[in-house]
Structure formats: structure tokens, C-alpha cells
Homo-oligomer: A and B are copies of this chain.
């Protein structure tokens, strides 16, 4: 195994890997500290294509950060990548924590703010050209749970990304959670009649919008995760870049079911996966 692959996180692990940070109590409140390091690493996208990614903590997408509304969030950001980067968070925070200032390589900075409001947010590098810094892989989800929590469910994360292999500002490959077609060759096991809560982010640059579709079922939509009750039910949702939602569904019948953007050209270039519904 080449060095660049040795520490490659398994996409099946990424799927349900939530980073709650190091928890501290300060002045009576919960503080969550996250250590995030920007660096570069080579991704083996398929048997033929290697891709030099710019990323956080050696993974694409970066860690799924998670806090509860009202927590204090402290991001210790170290840049070891050899070029300037930053971390811009979605959600509410003061201007000085907005992450649009370049952090030079070798430097570090601390982004600190209250986790608010609850919902599905994201972070990404905001250095120009942003299409390139996002396209290279410097992004992740930032989930803020409502104080009362959500109902029990099999929770998972899918981030749709695109790879511009030849720097022509078009994507040649696509992926859920970084690796093209991974969940097609390794279907995601879920249980029959078990509620699945999917945190879905579209982080594809260059394509103006994509859809997300699951087979043989419909899902409930919680737009931007900003509601406790669903606002729509469908099986095809259209999402611009940086749109993200909670989708909930359960499969009534066992078997294998595809999920993919319904722009089939995108699906057929790597943004394709399957659920394996296990009967109970």
C-alpha cells in the first residue's frame, strides 16, 4: 500500500463518523474544541486516476463536526499545506470569525463562536479562487443539533463532490464522500423499517445544480436542517452548490437500492451508491 493510501479513511467509516470535539466546561457552559489541519494528500480515485487533494485532517470531505445549539465551538486551525487557506463556517457568528482572511502556511488561528442556530451547516476554505479550493477538497459538514435532539435514527452523512482532474473548470469525476462509486461496490447496510437520517450536502463546483434521488422510496425533507418537522416529501431534490438538507426515510422491503443524482451523466461518473436493506 502506497503511503498516501495507508491512512486513507474508509468511506464506510466516514459515513457515520461524527466528531464531537474535545469537550470542556468553561464558565458554566460546554465548549467543544476541534483540531483541524489543512494539508495535501493524494487520493486514488480509481485504478487509473490519482488526485492531489487539499483537505482537512487528511480526508475528503473533512471531519463532520457536531455540536448542540448553544455550545461554544473552538476551531484550532493549523495550515501545513504550503499555500494559504482558511475555514469559513456557515451558521451565525461575528465578522472576525468568518474565515475569509488567508492563513499562511505554517501559521495557525482559532475560530471561536456559539453554535447557532441548529441545522445542517458546512465549512470550507474561502480563498480565491474558491471553486479551486473547494474543488480540491477543503470542506466538511458542521451539524448543530437542536437542544431537544432529534428522534433515534441510523444517522449518516453523504457529501456530493466533483473532481476537476485536468483543471479545465469542469468535473470529470464525482463522488459521495470522496471516492467515486465506493458505495456502489460497497453498498451501505441499513435495516428494513429502520429510520435513516441522512445529512446531505452538495459541494460540487462548476455544475450549476444537481439532484439527489433514492430508488423505490421517498424521503422527508428538513430544509437546511432548520426544522423539527418535515416540509416536503419527494424522491428527487434539486440542490445548488452549498445546499444541504436532512432527508429521512425507511425502506419497507429488503434488497438493494441505488441512490444517485438524476443527472445521469453525473451519476455515471462516480456519484452512484447503493443501500443494502437487511430484513429484520
Contacts and interface: CB of A to CB of B under 8 A. Distances in A.
Contact of A92 (B218, B232, B256): B218
A122 to B, nearest CB: 9
A242 B262 contact: yes
Contacts of A16: none
A208 B208 contact: yes
Contact of A218 (B128, B169, B226): B226
A94 to B, nearest CB: 4
Contacts of A211: 240-243
B238 A95 contact: no
Interface size class on chain A is 35 or more
A167 interface: no
Given A131-B268, A240-B262, A268-B128, A255 B95 contact: yes
A90 B218 CA distance: 9
A231 interface: yes
A265 B100 CA distance: 17
B252 A129 contact: no
A270 to B, nearest CB: 13
- Say how many copies of this protein the assembly contains: 3
A5 interface: no
Interface string A222-266: 011010000111111111111100000000111111100011110
A263 B208 contact: yes
A131 to B, nearest CB: 4
Contacts of A238: 209, 238-240, 243
A189 to B, nearest CB: 14
A207 interface: yes
A23 interface: no
Interface of A: 88, 90-98, 100, 117, 119, 128-131, 134, 169, 205-211, 213, 215-218, 223-224, 226, 231-243, 252-258, 262-265, 267-268, 277
25 contacts: A90-B235, A91-B216, A92-B217, A92-B218, A92-B252, A98-B255, A100-B215, A100-B258, A117-B233, A128-B268, A129-B265, A129-B268, A208-B208, A209-B240, A211-B240, A211-B241, A211-B242, A213-B242, A223-B232, A224-B236, A226-B232, A234-B243, A237-B240, A238-B240, A241-B262
